[in-house]
Structure 1
Amino acid sequence: MPGVRAMLLAAIIAMSATVQPLPGHAQNLPSLGDTERESLSPQMERKLGEQIMRDIRRDKDYLDDDPVLEYLNNFGTSLLTAHPEARGEAGYDFFFFPVRDPMLNAFALPGGFIGVHSALVLAAQNESELASVLAHEIGHVSQRHIARMLGRQKQDSLIPLATALLAALAVRGSPDTSAALLMGGQGVALQRQLNFSRDAEREADRIGLQILREAGYDTSGMISFFARMQNATRSYTDSAPAYLRSHPMTTERIADIQARTRDLRYKQRADSIDFHLARARLRVLQDPSAQGLREASIAFDSQLQLKARVPVMSAKYGQAFIALRQGNAAKAQSLLQESVAAANGASAPVQSPLIASMAIDIKLAANDAAGAVREADAARTKYPVSRGIARQYADALLRVGRNDDAINYLRDQAQLYRQDAKLQDLLARAYAAQGKQALQHLALAEAYAINGSMPAAIDQLGIARRAGDASFYDQAMIDAREREFKARWMEEMKEEQQRER
């Protein structure tokens, strides 16, 4: 997803023009230094991350798939629970999200947002390997590496950093272009920034190993996966000159990790069922074209030849997902049943929110809304914290015309999850079904505001005010939200003007 890197660079450069030094206080951080992170407060860092995420969510390669999102966030949260110190001094709420990208990579954004390339999840052979990458990226966030990088930029020009990053990307296509870009930078400042990044990578590796150990994962997963990533990206890293490698050489990092884990016992940990189902789902989502679905189907056929329970279960699930995307609900239902049968060949029945979610989707695709309500009602009881299943339940209620029930349920959910724009969209649908125009547009305004589109949110409030069915209470709510939204918009415009100076 090249656009993500460009957006991150642009946002860092833009934000650094408005950031002012803030008082710091001593922290027990490793050798990168405390004074270098004083220029970006945790609140500003989070705000920067949210701004970048608004752009990423609009990108076609952002995989807004509830089952995969929930798997990644449940998995990432389990790592943070095992090592609470990893939340860092700021105590961020982390958010893990998948992007469609063929490179084996993951990246950390300011404020606790961590992106995972689809190809990386597919390349991970077990959850310990996936945990090693997420733990490494958590290390970047917990140590506030971007904030500390911006602290260095108080002393060094931003231009050499931008030059280095552009050159590192350009070298993939043209070494000559990379050399030309590099000549425009200042050598000393460039080397300082790159050295800092190398130190940051080593520090993130150390934090990642602590997280893996305390979460009970096999630390050798980091070694094996780094080696696989090195082989997959060898053509890129070998062609880049040493002074352009912001990450330390992978062989160097592997050697360092091996030294740190030499005396640790091997710890085998069974993978969760959800890991294999999420990988199957991502294999389909990675390339949704007709050719991509054919290639995914071939891969699942190969898995079936293994005859083992877990590969058969995940392959059947993947085939069911393909059938669902192709509009064949009956075939999808049959394949999902075969997947469940393979999974339940274990000593205890296997349950998964990914299976429950697909069962609901299949009922909806088959226009069996009543069946979808029954499936979703049972699933939300079994998985009460699943945001995706909660939204599926509301959608099913709307499909069968139970608008009052949907509105009551969605209002309760919106009170619990105030930053869930999808709930507000569903609430707007429910109000529209009842002909309640003022409430419909008020809900749409909330959805736009959550997504950071303040002008659109204010426009929706104007439409709500002009609706003939707006009550006195509705008008008061519209006025209050309009004052708040306009104040937020004015603040955003002020920041934008400051950046342009």
Structure 2
Amino acid sequence: MTALALCAAAACAIAAPAEPQKKPDNSLPTLGDAARQDLSPVVERKLGEEIMRDVRRDPAYLDDDPITEYLNNLGNALVVAVPGARGETNADFSFFAMRDPNLNAFALPGGFIGAHTGLIVAAQNESELAGVMSHEIGHVSQRHIARMLGQQKQDVLLPLAAMILAALAARTSSDAAMGVLMGGQGLAVQRQLNFSRDAEREADRVGFQIMSAGGYDTTGIVGFFKRLQTATKMYGDIPAHMASLSSHPLTAERITDMQARIREIPKKPRVDNLDFQLVRARARVLQDESVGGRRDTKNAFETQLKEGHRHLQAGAQYGLALLALRQGNTVEAQSWLDKARSTVKPKEGVFSTESNAGDGATMFTGLALEIKLAPGQPSSVVQGAVQDADLARQRYPLSRALARQYGEALIAAGKLDEATRYLRDQTQLYREEPKLHDMLAKAYAKQGKIALQHMALAESYVVAGALPAAVAQLELARKAGDVSFYDQAVIDARERELKARQKLEKEEEKER
């Protein structure tokens, strides 16, 4: 997709480079002053954050820790592969998934990059997925949003945000998308589309550099490209009038350009990490949990079990384990998980089957904890999950998903004092993780500490950008019967700060 509103409704955002290049050039271009003058990095990031608040409220937003962690590990590894990939704004990238069968990916202002589950499932190897993400990183690093706005006035900022959201909503309501294109927006859309074609060519080149420098097999993109080209229904459920905004024509010329560029560089065969197949399986399960969807998912995994590659077999077994867990069958879930572990490394023990974090270690461990913490499990199993989660977070300290699972295990086991101590420390270290604040609020609620519960919820709303809701939670905390003098002082100071931020945001909106 483009880096703009038209990106969300466009077809998958991988594209072939516009021109063959004899030598790979890892130095990314620098933009001129015009772009910076029209949209500052601060405003660009703020716009992206505003859009993400609404995206996270979309039912299609997939709030799944293992998938999010995988996408961020993959995406950020690509970002660091090429000096300058963060662009002149030194963008802080964030990657997320949307529950959607369409083969889409898109970049939003400020470094937010989304991938549809359909894209993750359709990718046959990690290089294909890396190609898509590299293309989107290229949009961000080249500041295509700022450059497009250099051709327009600042007052289109809010319409652009609205268009992105309408495009995301178009999956379920064509009226939402149609409304965006009415009221004089047609000309602006056309200008964006004209610009986007040039932006796509630039993102093609930059994305190719990034994935090549990251050590991925660039030939994988061509195969994925051809599958998209021959697909009988390119845009899934996206209405035709939105699909027509696509800036990603999958032409034979672009495929030829990609092939020409590939011939100029050494081939880089790459063995995928097991994590890729496990994430594909997880995305397939979570993409459609209707009765029919689960039936189709099970059939797909049963077919995949017949594949000769052990990683494919383990991915199918992992998927069947998650599918059984989502259906409430913990015994069957554990059985399939054990089979998946045995398929790749037939050893005994909770941790002995995984040695490297890229070989399914955190995902196997995380699913094992999910099973032990599932509703209806005996107290002894839940208590055992605390010890397992503690070992897991120490063994894999970089996994935020496992760190949060340890907090969940403490709460589930009734170790509330330990839970609040741990989660307070975590919220200080990772202030931008709303789940931590929510978990802390849950622990306080179980302890009957109502004032602290509302104060923790207030911080969760702050992270989500919902300042009015955060202030409302502070008011509830102030009125709680167990509020202390110290709590009152903290509440007063925080409320003044948040109201000042609200005032500033309103002033900025008026200036737009």
- Shorter-chain-normalised TM-score: which range? 0.7 to 0.9
Aligned: 1:60 with 2:73: no
Instruction: Check if 1:482 corresponds to 2:481.
Output: no
Corresponding residue of 1:269: 270
Q: Name the structure with the higher helix share.
A: 1
Structural mapping, 1:343-382, within 5 Å: 343-345=344-346, 349-350=353-354, 351-365=360-374, 366-367=377-378, 368-382=381-395
Q: How far does residue 307 in structure 1 lie from its aligned partner after superposition? A: 4.1
Distance 1:137 1:413 in 2: 31
Query: What amino acid sits opposite 2:219 in the alignment?
Result: S
CA shift at 1:30, angstroms? 4.6
Could you say what secondary structure the match of 1:103 adopts? Answer: coil
Q: Does 1:229 align with 2:238?
A: no
Aligned mates of 2:202, 2:68 — CA distance in 1:
27
Partner residue, 2:252: 251
Helix, strand or coil: the match of 1:114?
Answer: strand
Secondary structure of 1:85's partner? coil
State the alpha-carbon separation in 2 of the partners of residues 312 and 106 from structure 1.
27
CA contact (8 A) 2:277 2:315 kept: yes
**Residue identity opposite 1:287 in structure 2:** D
Q: Secondary structure at the match of 2:506?
A: helix
Contact 1:99 1:118 in 2 (8 A): yes
What is the CA–CA distance in structure 1 between the aligned matches of 2:153 and 2:203, rounded to whole Å? 23
Aligned amino acid, residue 386 of structure 2: V
Structure 1 residue aligned with 2:357: none
1:83 and 1:214 in contact (8 A); partners too: yes
Q: C-alpha displacement at 1:163, in angstroms?
A: 13
Instruction: Confirm or deny that 1:473 pairs with 2:489.
Output: no
The Cα of 1:432 is off from its aligned counterpart by: 1.9
Which residue does the alignment assign to 1:149? 148
What is the CA–CA distance in structure 1 between the aligned matches of 2:29 and 2:73, rounded to whole Å? 28
Partner of 1:13: none
Deviation (angstroms), 1:195: 2.9
| Residue 387 (structure 1) aligned with residue 400 (structure 2) | yes
| Aligned pairs, number | 469
Between stretches 272-281 and 241-250, larger displacement belongs to: 241-250
Distance in 2, Cα, partners of 1:432 & 1:183: 48
In structure 1, distance between residues paired with 2:412 and 2:305: 36
Q: Relative to 1, partners in 2 of residues 1:290 and 1:155: Cα closer, same or farther, differing over 3 Å?
A: closer
Contact 1:194 / 1:243 at 8 angstroms: preserved in 2? no
Q: Which residue of 2 aligns with 1:461?
A: 474
Distance 1:474 1:8, change over 3 A: farther
Secondary structure in 2 matching 1:291: helix
The match for 2:91 is 92
1:14 match: none
Measured in 2, the distance between the counterparts of 1:222 and 1:144 equals: 24
For 1:395, give the aligned amino acid. E
* Cα offset, 1:412, TM superposition: 1.2
Q: Is the 8 A contact 2:107 2:139 kept in 1?
A: yes
Superposed displacement of residue 146, structure 1: 0.8
The letter for the 2-side match of 1:301 is: E
1:493 aligns with 506
What amino acid does structure 2 have at the position aligned with 1:343? V
Q: Match of 1:19?
A: none
Q: CA deviation at 1:260?
A: 2.2
The superposition leaves residues 82-104 of structure 1 with CA deviations (integer Å, 9 ceiling, x where unpaired) of: 12411111112111111011211
| Alignment partner, residue 39 of structure 1 | 38
- Relative to structure 1, the CA distance from residue 194 to residue 456 in structure 2 (aligned partners, 3 Å threshold; closer, same or farther) is closer
Relative distance call for 1:162 and 1:248 in structure 2 (3 A) is farther
Stretch of structure 1 that moved more, 157-166 or 265-274: 157-166
Please list every run of 5 or more consecutive structure 1 residues that lacks an aligned counterpart in the other structure: 10-27
Report the alpha carbon displacement of residue 36 of structure 1 after superposing the two structures with TM.
3.8
Tell me what 1:102 maps to.
Answer: 101
| Structure 2: stretches of 5+ with no match in the other structure | 10-26, 355-359
Partner in structure 1 of residue 68 of structure 2: 69
Residues 382-404 of structure 1 show CA distances to partners (whole Å, capped at 9, x for unaligned) of: 21122221111111111222111
Structure 1 pair 164–338 and aligned structure 2 pair: CA distance change class (3 A):
closer
Q: Secondary structure at the match of 1:38?
A: helix
After superposition, where does 1:96-495 map in structure 2 within 5 Å? 96-154=95-153, 192-232=191-231, 246-345=247-346, 349-350=353-354, 351-365=360-374, 366-367=377-378, 368-495=381-508
Query: Equivalent residue of 1:352, what SS?
Result: helix
Paired with 1:66 and 1:289, the residues of 2 have a C-alpha distance of 21
Q: Could you tell me how far apart the structure 1 residues matched to 2:448 and 2:389 are?
A: 26
Partners of 1:72 and 1:333 in 2: CA distance: 25
Q: Distance in 2 between matches of 1:243 and 1:327?
A: 42
Q: Is the 8 A contact 2:28 2:85 kept in 1?
A: no
CA positional deviation for 1:164: 11
TM-score (structure 2 length as normaliser): 0.83
- The offset of 1:434, in angstroms, is 2.1
In 2, Cα distance between the equivalents of 1:392 and 1:58?
Answer: 23
Instruction: State the 1:158 CA deviation.
Output: 9.2
Q: Deviations over 1:241-275 (max 9, x none)?
A: 99965335533322222222222121111111110
User: Are the counterparts in 1 of residues 7 and 107 from structure 2 also a CA contact under 8 Å?
Assistant: no
Give the partner amino acid of 1:262.
Answer: R
Work out the CA distance in 1 between the residues paired with 2:272 and 2:138. 23
For the Cα contact (< 8 Å) 1:107–1:115, is it kept in 2?
Answer: yes
Cα distance change of structure 1 residues 393 and 243 upon mapping to structure 2, 3 Å threshold:
closer
Q: Higher RCO, 1 or 2 (CA under 8 Å, sep at least 6)?
A: 2
AA paired with 2:118? Answer: A
Percent identity reads 57
Q: Are the counterparts in 2 of residues 201 and 248 from structure 1 also a CA contact under 8 Å?
A: no
Root mean square deviation of aligned Cα: 3.5
Q: CA 1:98/1:159 → structure 2, altered by over 3 Å: closer, same or farther?
A: closer
Q: Which segment is superposed worse, 204-213 or 32-41?
A: 32-41
